[in-house]
Amino acid sequence: MAKLKKWGGYALIAFVAFYLLTQPESAAGVIQSGLDLLVGGAESMSRFVNTLLS
């Protein structure tokens, strides 16, 4: 089972590297979407805490 996880990790890294090298614009879009999601979540948490403290 440990070897399967190890090889699965290698396969995932290889896929990500292939995706980044062959489609950099799409990869950048995916990263940007993820960052936008994190920023939106942080803003929502900030508003929630500010509402609690008001």
1-54 pLDDT per residue, tens: 888 899 999 999 999 999 999 999 999 999 999 999 999 999 999 999 999 998
The pTM (predicted TM-score) of the whole model is: 0.62
4 part of a folded domain: no
For 14, what's the count of Cα atoms within 13 Å in the CB-facing half-sphere? 6
**Residue 39, domain member (yes or no):** yes
Instruction: Give the integer Cα–Cα distance in Å for 12 and 4.
Output: 12
pLDDT of residue 1: 82
In a domain, 7, yes or no: no
DSSP assignment of 8-29 equals HHHHHHHHHHHHHHH-HHHHHH
- Structural domain including 34 reads 24-54
pLDDT of residue 2: 84
Q: CB-hemisphere CA count at 13 Å for 22?
A: 6
Asked if residue 34 belongs to a domain, the reply is yes
Instruction: Establish if 30 belongs to a structural domain.
Output: yes
- In the chain, the number of structural domains is 1
Token pair belonging to 3:
């070897």
- Position 45, amino acid: M
